[in-house]
Chains A and B, each alone.
Chain A
Amino acid sequence: MSQSFDEISAQLQRRHRKSARLKWLSMGALGLAGLFLVLFFADMLSKGLPAFQQAQIRVELDYNEDATRMGRAALDPEVSRLVSRTFERLIPGMLADDPELLGTTETRWVLANAQVDQYLKGHTHRLNAAQQATVDRLAEEGNVALKFNTTFFTSGDSKMAEASGILAAALGTVMTMLVTLAIAFPIGVMTAVYLEEFAPDNRLTQIIEININNLAAIPSILFGLLGLAIFISFFGVPRSSPLVGGMTLALMTLPVIIIATRTALRSVPDSIRHAAFGVGCSRWQVVRDHVLPLAMPGIMTGSIIGLAQAMGETAPLIIVGMVAFIPDVSATFTNAATVLPAQIFTWAGEPDKAFVEKTAGGILVLLAILIFLNATAVVLRKKFERRW
């Protein structure tokens, strides 16, 4: 017998309730995830933003005879304890470069040391009462102030918190990623093209496919060991260099790119391939002229995401020695270098409290780059996506 509307509605009620419950649950999960994200960003911003400002102090420099040997002699003893030792060490060099300076005086803003900086920012510091009084007085006179921290963006690592910067690590990351991209992208895409468009579907290719999928799930530190064993020990690639780091990360990124490319290739409808074969394209022409262009947005998105993953990777790079102390800013492939996450890791381990904000600042820079990369992926996808 057929049922009346009322009977059917009564049954439906339960189903409706169920789907409503599920909806609330998933919205709750989403809300929670959002909350964590907001907390994380708020914490990082509150800790990291101060790193973009640095205390500077206006001092009178007296380039006397003693200063050619010991920079501190150029400073008034009262403030010499407040100036960064990194700057003091520069003075003899300045005098050697420009002997004309000898005997002159100069008033200028110089880097204050980390304790002054922390004191001004209201963090824990190690200034004694007299030094605090001096800083307070100088601040009132306008001779001590927090200014935009160019040092952070223009220099490498330093043992002095106030003089340490992110640039060397950022360049290291760029060089490493260039190597990774140059190796992983072509090899990954061509592998996927071969497997998807050329290879016969037999036992061997199935085994290869399974292993590629497994490779994507291997703990990244193992790739570091592989890099150490093969690239450094066997091939003698210089340790700690962007070259070896990039090669190691390329191993890690390869499966990601292969899988993304295969998915993208598979999403190209067969009717396009048939059309191309039908007008007499060779297999390679089908791939090059018809399939790859359509798959490109997917390939690029996948590759950029793989690259972003590699960029945040620390463990394998520790193994190949990329957690080095790199004070010099240089962009080479073979010299020792460090990368952003490794730099953050190093700073996080510094006992000096002043490095806490450097750590958070470094994370902000890394995050900004990652967000930029992901945005690029989205833009590229939109740009190359053809809805026809």
Chain B
Amino acid sequence: MNMQAAPRHTVGTAPQVGQPHTRNDQACHDLSIRVRDLNLWYGQTQALKNLNIDLFEKNVTALIGPSGCGKSTFLRCLNRMNDLIPSVRIEGLVEMDGRDVNATKMDEVALRRRVGMVFQKPNPFPKSIYENIAYAPRMHDLVSRKAEQDELVEKALRDAGLWNEVKDKLHEPGTSLSGGQQQRLCIARAIAVQPDVILMDEPTSALDPISTATIEDLMDKLKQQFTIVTVTHNMQQAARVADYTAFFHLGEIVEYNDTKTMFSNPATKKAEDYITGRYG
């Protein structure tokens, strides 16, 4: 595989990303999100240049790259959070389920129900732990009775590995938890609406090593149910949790490969320099 230029991936179940030697080797590699020729401008400055990438269902994809290279910007394209920034202009295709995410017909509220997000800094609502989880499903009419709601809250908290720690204080404020617990609460909040994709923007950068390890384990578990796209500056983390890794540089995807290849035998010099810490 020659990867001097940004790779162009074709549609299909067999991705052209070298030979994926991931843990999911035999598992499905169904396409979740397809990105073609994506360009994004903040006013006059172009932040994303001609991105092409296929994100696979029920895998963890890590986005790595130096600061300011557009990882967060790209992540926000996937659930249209960039809509909130007035100066943004987007061209190109982001396709999910055969639908153009950026089409005017696409309701961004519907999109965000299917593509949840966990932010860099834990940002629980200033409400109780219970309300943090129950709010969104109730809003989306996913639950009708109180019992259903209780059940869903418990399930989300269990999936996020937080249940045992908070089951006795569900009605205490979400912000009274520790940073790591808050981040897991945010993950629980995201999975409570039963999305297909969860975007995580440096979810562990504000956390201590133990909380980080907890969340990494969690991602490994959650990928059975969800497609996870995560941004990280931590190479070991990417190597540990990701099935695929995309290396961003100056708004371009320089290399996209299965994680094992990316870290053992990167195809591009830039990626190799970055991964081995010789960058900059």
Contacts and interface: CB of A to CB of B under 8 A. Distances in A.
A277 B126 contact: no
Interface residues of B, number: 28
Interface string A250-279: 000000000000000000010111111111
Most buried by B among A273, A278, A281: A278
A274 B190 contact: no
Contacts of A200: 86
A101 to B, nearest CB: 68
B59 to A, nearest CB: 21
B22 interface: no
B126 A386 contact: yes
Interface stretch (B132-140, B147-155, B221-229): B132-140
Given A272-B123, A272-B126, A294-B126, A278 B135 contact: no
Given A200-B86, A271-B119, A279-B190, A388 B126 contact: yes
Given A388-B173, A388-B176, A278 B125 contact: no
A77 interface: no
A275 B124 CA distance: 7
Contact of B123 (A274, A294, A388): A274
A201 interface: yes
A122 interface: no
Given A200-B86, A201-B86, A277-B84, A282 B123 contact: no
A274 B126 contact: no
Interface stretch (B1-9, B108-116, B246-254): B108-116
A307 B125 CA distance: 31
B188 to A, nearest CB: 11
A388 B131 CA distance: 13
Contact of A275 (B79, B109, B119, B193): B119
B173 A279 contact: no
A353 interface: no
Contact of A280 (B84, B112, B123, B126): B112
A195 to B, nearest CB: 14
Contact of B136 (A201, A274, A280): A280
Given A274-B117, A278-B119, 14 more contacts: A271-B119, A271-B123, A275-B124, A275-B125, A277-B84, A277-B112, A278-B112, A279-B139, A280-B109, A280-B193, A281-B109, A281-B139, A289-B135, A386-B126
Contact of A278 (B116, B126, B139, B173): B116
A282 B109 contact: yes
Contact of A285 (B117, B139, B173): B139
A381 interface: no
B47 interface: no
Contacts of B116: 278-279
Contacts of A125: none
Contacts of A276: 125
Contacts of A58: none
A276 B131 CA distance: 13
Give me the 10 closest cross-chain CB pairs, A-B, nearest first: A388-B173, A279-B136, A271-B123, A388-B175, A278-B117, A280-B112, A280-B113, A275-B123, A388-B126, A280-B109
Given A272-B125, A386-B126, A277 B136 contact: no
B119 A277 contact: no
A388 B129 CA distance: 11
B34 interface: no
B35 interface: no
Contacts of B176: 388
Contacts of B238: none
B186 A274 contact: no
Interface in A173-214: 200-201
18 contacts: A200-B86, A201-B86, A273-B84, A274-B123, A275-B123, A275-B124, A277-B84, A277-B112, A278-B79, A278-B117, A279-B112, A279-B190, A279-B193, A280-B139, A285-B139, A290-B125, A386-B126, A388-B173
Nearest to B84: A277
Contacts of A273: 84
A281 B84 CA distance: 13
Interface in B54-88: 79, 81, 84, 86
Contact of B174 (A271, A290, A388): A388
B121 interface: yes
A10 B157 CA distance: 61
A272 B175 CA distance: 12
Contacts of A281: 109, 136, 139
Contacts of A386: 126, 173
B140 to A, nearest CB: 6
B184 interface: no
Contacts of A275: 119, 123-125, 186, 189
Interface in A91-136: none
Nearest to B173: A388
Nearest to B110: A280
Contacts of A271: 119, 121, 123
A279 to B, nearest CB: 4
Contacts of B189: 275, 279
Most buried by B among A201, A277, A280: A280
A154 to B, nearest CB: 47
Nearest to B175: A388
A285 B135 CA distance: 11
B114 to A, nearest CB: 9
Contacts of B109: 280-282
A277 B84 CA distance: 9
Nearest to A281: B139
Nearest to A269: B123
Most buried by A among B86, B123, B176, B189: B123
Contacts of B86: 200-201
Contacts of B186: 275
A277 B116 CA distance: 10
B122 to A, nearest CB: 9
Contacts of B139: 279-281, 285, 289
